[in-house]
Amino acid sequence: MPKQTILKQILVWRAKHISHKQFVNILSVFIGFIAGISAVALKNITHFIQHLLEGKVIKSYHSAFYFVFPIIGLTLVYFTMKYIIRHKAGHGIPSTLLAISKHKGIIKRYQMYGSILMAPLTVGFGGSVGLEGPAVATGSALGSNIARMFHMNQTTRNLLIGCAAAGAMSSILQAPIAGIVFAIEVFSLDLTIASMLPLLLSSLSAVLISYYFFGDDILLPFKSVDKFVISDTPFYILLAVVACFVSIYFTKVYEWFHTFFRKLNSPIKSLIIGGILLGVLIYFIPPLYGEGYEVINNLIAGNTQIALENNFFQMDTSNIWVAIILLVGLVLFKIIASSLTFAAGGDGGIFAPTLFMGSIMGNSIAKIINHCGLFSTPVSESNFTLVGMAGLMAGVLHAPLTAIFLIAELTGGYELFFPLMLTSTLSFGLTKYFIPHSVYNMELGRKGELITHDKDHAVLTLMDTSKVIETNFVTITSNMNLGEIVNTAIIKSNRNIFPVINANTKKLVGIILLDDLRSIMFDTDLYTEIRASDVMQPAPAIIDIENDKMTDIMKKFQDSSAWNLPVVKEGVYVGFISKSKLLTAYRRQLINFTK
């Protein structure tokens, strides 16, 4: 039986026997399983590659291979993308946010398997990025395409993408609550009873998959034992301030490298330059190899010397100040290594680098406090390591709730809940003052294409400007006389506004209202005396279709009090947008958005 016929029968049977809400719940469970399996596959393939590369055959020569492995991995990623996927793959979570905000939640099919092929090659061969972003991108693509297969509307499609994201995060981190909060916070999903149950079901089914395959073997296997001491509060405030500065550094360096390599406009040049620089960095600083969770776990456990034992300069890490200098160096160079990995064509996420830098940042501050000789009572290095991760995550990702619940879940309790809340909230608030958008949505935010929890702004973002442009206006050239205007425009048009354009360049030079001509249009003596340039007036505002966002267009209507505004592209007249049509389109989009 043909596949289309089977699917049609399923859809008919579903419509007769299962309500929409029930079917969404069933799909959320299924999507959670699929997202969980994809996350497990990503982890297993990556760890298999790492185990293979660090096997007995090359273990004795491994330090030399630190330089070679990243270049080999990035080259394999390039050929995989060019000859197998045959599409330019977007970076994990940003590409998913773009699909939600501008493509109605439609994600291309190749993204269902693209990251599973490319991310393990990137990270397994030493790329200094994480697997969480690719896991979310893979799960989101699966959720989008499953929703399309069953003809779900845009609102339900976005919800199922969120379910897949929650499932992927829950599976890879074994933190189901943090996975749900992540989907709500980063993807700006509406938190309602209707959306909460599917997110819970998806997250639960995904984490069950993770436990089935990995048991209790999680990325950060640590249970907090040091209790929070109220006298440490000023130090946690200091940690939040430092997290803010490191977040700004993280974001600026990340953006600078992306801008620089984008100007090269050549994948081959980016691969060669980025791959060589990354190889050099990892050769001299081996802890930058891969995700870096082993370093994090050693720091949390207090094994600083083990975390730093592979330093190239063979410095004495038993000296606390030498250890602090090396740790600060890891913070400074990790984001450079991550940016080079992305710039050279690698596939991965910034979640793991954020946790890596945050843990080292917190650990370093605790060591400085404990050994500077100014304070009699020492602070807990393990607690500061954990809270540092949350602080930097809140600042870099603009996801304070995710940061709080993730660390609380990973530590198996809420002993650190107060310092987590304090540090994450302060870090987020301070960083947002200087950096309005997170690394995930920086580009979308600049273009005004980012979906947020502001419903009015979200609806405007989802609207398509090109669909509200009207082109049935009769144009007038600036050199036309009154007679020509009456005979070629007024008589033939059912509009009361006429765009005036330059005859040669077609650029808009003004507008003429019918009211401007009423007193003279029947005086034939003036037909050859008066020209369009004599009676035209400047438009109250002009809409630039290439640069003006929908929020800008709404503001222009509000400020000008006009009912029709001309639209131009590079100065050339395109058409008009009417306030009535714009509001009608807004109402329709709002209905779809709130279904």
Most confident of 4-13, 325-334, 550-559: 325-334
Q: Are residues 531 and 431 in the same domain?
A: no
User: How does residue 310 score in pLDDT terms, banded at 50, 70 and 90?
Assistant: low
User: How does residue 57 score in pLDDT terms, banded at 50, 70 and 90?
Assistant: very low
Q: Are residues 399 and 485 in the same domain?
A: no
Average pLDDT over the chain, rounded to an integer: 83
Q: How far is CA 487 from CA 326, 490, 491, 511, in A?
A: 82, 6, 6, 17
Q: For the segment 451-464, what is each residue's pLDDT rounded down to a tens digit?
A: 544 455 555 555 66
| Measured distance CA(87)–CA(411) in Å, rounded | 40
For 416-458, give the DSSP string.
Answer: THHHHHHHHHHHHHHHHHH--S-TTTHHHHHHT----S-HHHH
Of 43 and 550, which is predicted with more confidence? 43
Q: Are residues 131 and 210 in the same domain?
A: yes
Q: Are residues 573 and 425 in the same domain?
A: no
Of 216 and 199, which is predicted with more confidence? 199
Q: Are residues 243 and 321 in the same domain?
A: yes
Q: Are residues 332 and 474 in the same domain?
A: no
Task: Please state, for a pLDDT cut of 90, what percent of the chain lies above it.
Answer: 25
Q: At what angle do helices 193-214 and 176-186 cross, to 10 degrees?
A: 130
Rg (CA), the chain: 29
User: How does residue 55 score in pLDDT terms, banded at 50, 70 and 90?
Assistant: low
Q: Is residue 556 part of a domain?
A: yes
- Token pair 């050929």 in the structure block, residue: 79
* Closest-CA residue to 93 (of 28, 38, 161, 27): 161
* CATH code where residue 205 lies: 1.10.3080.10
Q: Are residues 519 and 428 in the same domain?
A: no
User: Do the strands 564-569 and 543-544 form a parallel or antiparallel pair, or are they unpaired?
Assistant: parallel
| Measured distance CA(138)–CA(96) in Å, rounded | 9
Predicted confidence at residue 453, as pLDDT, reads 46
Q: Are residues 248 and 397 in the same domain?
A: yes
The range of the structural domain enclosing residue 282 comes to 230-453
Q: Are residues 441 and 465 in the same domain?
A: no
| Measured distance CA(303)–CA(291) in Å, rounded | 18
Q: Are residues 269 and 163 in the same domain?
A: no
Q: For the segment 254-279, what is each residue's pLDDT rounded down to a tens digit?
A: 889 988 888 888 889 999 999 999 98
Predicted confidence at residue 214, as pLDDT, reads 72
Q: How many domains does the chain have?
A: 3
Q: Are 399 and 365 in contact (CB under 8 A)?
A: no
* pTM summary value: 0.77
Which residues pair with residue 508 across a beta bridge?
501
Specify the range with the lowest mean pLDDT, choosing from 218-222, 438-442, 569-573. 218-222
| Measured distance CA(42)–CA(389) in Å, rounded | 23
Q: Are residues 246 and 358 in the same domain?
A: yes
